[in-house]
Amino acid sequence: MKIKNGDKITLDEYIEESLYNKKFGYYVKKVPFGKSGDFITAPNISVLFSEMLAIWVISFWENLGCPKKFNLIELGAGNGEMMRVLNKTFSKFPKFFSACKINILERSKLLRKIQKNIINNNKIRWLNNLDQLNNLPCIFLANEFFDALPIKQFIKKEKKWHERYVKFIDNTHKEYLDIPLDIEKFEKKIKFKISDKQTFIEYSPQADDYLKNITNKIKKNNGGVLIIDYAYVDKKIKNTLQAVSKHKYCGVLDEFGNSDITYNPNFDLIIKMLKRFGTFNSLMTTQKHFLTKLGIMERAEIISKNMQFSEKADIYFRIQRLIDEKQMGKLFKVLFITNHKNKFKLGFGND
């Protein structure tokens, strides 16, 4: 897309260009992870995060009847650290490892290159889209994937709905522009009354497409999707759009192509929208509950048994970042979606 002064584009088009433009997009030209990047994800905080996910995946595979072949798909694999640990853990379970066909969906060529180097497994397949998957049971993992997808914003002003656009004034100046929208026509298009009891809406067309595609594969071939994200569950949709550059918050319009633009997915909204695609069983909890139920503290105790105090302290400090309610423990939510007859609830139950 070529953008000239005076042009106006929808907010999701602006985010798409800023993050994924082939020449200057944030994820195309920059490694966003770690100290030199703009954020650190859970797999980079502690290997135990990925180990717990590996145990969950193996247990879910057993729940599915131990299919002889199945697809494991990571949506957006970041710097590859999570899949590196998953792959290493899976190799200790020969029957599972032989059945597992690992796939990674990654748009960024730069991140693909980094992932291939760090994971070092030539059996992994990188996908351009989910249509490349064959008809096998599918287990999808989406850790901080949905929050990086472009969103539209709709605002209700004086009983009328408007869609948010971005207008390019000149090379350095941009401004928001709210243009009247026929919300009923839009809702007819997405087949969902998203404006019901709302005054503000954040909606990702790409997220909707992914969910439709994923749930169709789950319905047809069996499986499920595990979504872990900086999410919320309110019935009222909020304005959560934000941008980060050099580990500091900045204006969404300030650093075009140079900042990480994200939003917080509304899991309550996702669950409601799933009803258009069929009947599914969905479970939701906090990251703290999920990881502790999977046994992250017990695992830490085992591996740190003969360590020096400083090494042991480092392990528990990292776990604390993942499960403390004032850090990631409560802010990050976990959503599991599977076929409606499946009663698998490891990591979600109270037992």
Segment 116-174, tens digit of pLDDT: 999 988 889 999 999 999 999 999 999 999 999 999 999 999 999 999 999 998 777 89
Q: Is 72 a domain residue?
A: yes
102, 219: one domain: yes
Residue 34's pLDDT is 53
**What burial class does residue 167 get, using C-beta atoms within 10 Å of its C-beta: 0-12 exposed, 13-18 middle, 19+ buried?**
middle
User: And the tokens for 247?
Assistant: 């580990």
Q: Is 143 a domain residue?
A: yes
Which of 78, 86, 81 minimizes the C-alpha distance to 102?
A: 86
211, 111: one domain: yes
pLDDT band at 32 (very low <50, low <70, confident <90, very high): low
CB 44, CB 38: distance < 8 Å = no
Residue 287, amino acid: Q
Q: What is the mean pLDDT of the chain?
A: 91
Q: Is 344 a domain residue?
A: no
pLDDT band at 33 (very low <50, low <70, confident <90, very high): low
Instruction: Check pLDDT > 60 for residue 103.
Output: yes
Segment 35-70, tens digit of pLDDT: 554 456 788 888 999 999 999 999 999 999 999 999
Q: Is 348 a domain residue?
A: no
Least-confidence region, from 1-5, 65-69, 108-112, 255-259? 1-5
For 11, the 3-state DSSP assignment is helix
Question: If you average pLDDT over residues 294-319, what whole number do you get?
Answer: 84
Question: If you average pLDDT over residues 295-305, what whole number do you get?
Answer: 85
273, 291: one domain: yes
Segment 315-351, tens digit of pLDDT: 878 989 999 888 888 999 999 999 999 999 999 987 5
Segment 210-249, tens digit of pLDDT: 999 999 999 999 999 999 999 999 999 999 999 988 778 8
Give me the percent of the chain exceeding a pLDDT of 90: 72
User: And the tokens for 159?
Assistant: 């009983």
Q: Is 307 a domain residue?
A: yes
User: And the tokens for 147?
Assistant: 């929050």
223, 97: one domain: yes
255, 156: one domain: yes
**Domain span holding position 164:** 1-18+152-203+239-261
